Amino acid sequence: MSDEAMNCEPRRAARAGGREARRAARAAPLSDAIRPVRAGMSGGQYKPLTEAGVEKIHQAALEALEVIGLSQAPASGIEAMTGAGAVLGDDGRIRFPRALVEDMLAVAARDITLCARDPKHDLHLSGTKVHYGTAGAAVHIVDPVTLDYRESTAQDLYDAARLVDNLDNIHFYQRTMVCRDVVDNQEMDLNTLYGSLAGTKKHVGTSFSDPSHVAKCFDLIHMVAGGEEKWLERPFVSNSNCFVVPPMKFAEESCIVMEDCIRRGMPVLLLSAGQAGATAPAPIALTIVQAVAECLAGVVYVNAVKKGAPAIFGTWPFVSDLRTGAMSGGSAEQALLTAGCAQMHRYYNLPGGAASGISDSKLPDMQAGWEQGITNALAGLAGLNMCYEAVGMHASLLGFCLESLILGDDLLGQAMRLVRGIDVTEDSTSIEAMKQVCVGGPGHYLGSDQTLKLMQTEYIYPSVANRMSPKEWNEAGKPLLLDAAIARKNEILSKAGCLIDPDLDQKIRAKYNIYFR
């Protein structure tokens, strides 16, 4: 070896050592304060409705409540709402004077926090802060390798919760699927609740299939919380409540559940899920009118039961493929509906949620990618507080795919980067860095201090998506995206255990019939 080559060796080693140190620093987890994306970033840049359009929808919703009203409220709801000023007609429909709606909007809860068992995952719902999470009631699990659909189980629900707990860009876990292996409905509600809580310390959303199940589920919640007082200090579960059956009817049993949950200190999601062209009008704007009217009735209902009770304005309208009448959750019209609803939430300054990220595709394929990408991006850019069903949902909510959670985490990271937008500051527009590179410099920015400083805080990198060149991809054995998702899923599940104290877990399993391992 020449003297020159020998002299180069230490410098090469030093450079390699420095490079490895930089790589290690880049691989280390970032604090939330400097991560390029994080829960609760503010959107609101996208507005499909004009200000005049928002006002027209509001006025039409008020007119619908005064003229049409809602039918089939339970006796307890009729008593609460008429006591507040609603009018029960001879036709059995409850109508809502404008002044009553305005009064209840004035006392409705705003700037609420949905607590998590780990406070670092608390969701602060104010303004245009955006949070992505799961939801739905899929009855099948999708196997993207065998292309089979099988019935979903309590174990699948628990596994999905464990994955969500370890995926940074999925901010909450609402019940994803039906535990089809649990035949008894009360046991199913208990397993749904406990499987979610055992799998994640993020905020959990659940539902109850019968009013008589609420008490036992709250007993379980109090056990996990460490007592009723601890629960009331930090309610870490919300009730996803389909309190209406569109068009313009209350769902009696769900309303009774809602009343019970409100009195027990649980936040509720007022969920109106009409389907345009079927259970909601065909025009997109009028579909929003009906959803807003139904949720405004919910605001009156909630605040008639308990003023200021935390409730999410859940305008959740879906789209029909009008050729067949089938639901089309991944359509451009669905993205517009959801974004328009987000604008209405901002108009009322209420915490709001709606559906985004549903795919009509049966598998995590290119169709699923564009459907989930468009609907999630528009929901975030519209400033939707709670983007439900954002990941994992296929076949228009009939199927759930665990691998799609992994892929969706990457997708949501990119969507949140859109929400963050472009930072325009003195530093980011200074030409100093240009001068250093262009005037007597290296002629590129690859190793500049500014580039190295910003590469982690301004740019987000996918965990499983592949950015190799064709040459690198070929040399690596032509890895497939699905294989990477399966590998990451298996790695997480191999390490993620039950998040309930073992002694408490034994007590709960002794008291209730828990199905998952």
Mean pLDDT confidence for 143-152? 97
Look up residue 241 and give its amino acid.
Answer: N
5: pLDDT strictly greater than 50: no
Model pTM score: 0.93
444: pLDDT strictly greater than 50: yes
DSSP-derived secondary structure for 186-237: HHHHHHHHHHHHHH-SSEEEE--SSGGGHHHHHHHHHHHHTSHHHHHHS--E
- Check residue 13 and give its pLDDT: 43
- Check residue 10 and give its pLDDT: 44
- Check residue 23 and give its pLDDT: 60
15: pLDDT strictly greater than 60: no
Task: Report domain extents, the chain.
Answer: 105-421+507-511
Lowest mean pLDDT among 10-19, 280-289, 387-396, 437-446: 10-19
Mean pLDDT confidence for 120-146? 97
- Check residue 14 and give its pLDDT: 43
- Check residue 25 and give its pLDDT: 59
Long-range contacts of 75-83 (CB under 8 A, 24+ apart): 76/255, 76/256, 76/259, 77/250, 77/255, 77/256, 77/259, 77/301, 80/259, 80/301, 80/304, 80/305, 81/300, 81/301, 81/304, 83/304
- Check residue 27 and give its pLDDT: 61
342: pLDDT strictly greater than 50: yes
What 3 state SS string does 148-185 have? EEEECCHHHHHHHHHHHHCCCCCCEEECCECCCCCCCH
1: pLDDT strictly greater than 60: no
- Check residue 234 and give its pLDDT: 98
Encode pLDDT of 224-251 as tens digits: 999 999 999 999 999 999 999 999 999 9
- Check residue 453 and give its pLDDT: 86
- Check residue 32 and give its pLDDT: 74
CATH architecture of 105-421+507-511: Alpha-Beta Barrel (3.20)
Encode pLDDT of 387-436 as tens digits: 999 999 999 999 999 999 999 999 999 999 999 999 999 989 999 999 99
509: pLDDT strictly greater than 50: yes
Query: Could you give the CA distance from residue 214 to residue 338 in angstroms, rounded to a whole number?
Result: 30
CB atoms within 10 A of CB 395: 21
Look up residue 494 and give its amino acid.
Answer: S
Query: Could you give the CA distance from residue 284 to residue 277 in angstroms, rounded to a whole number?
Result: 9
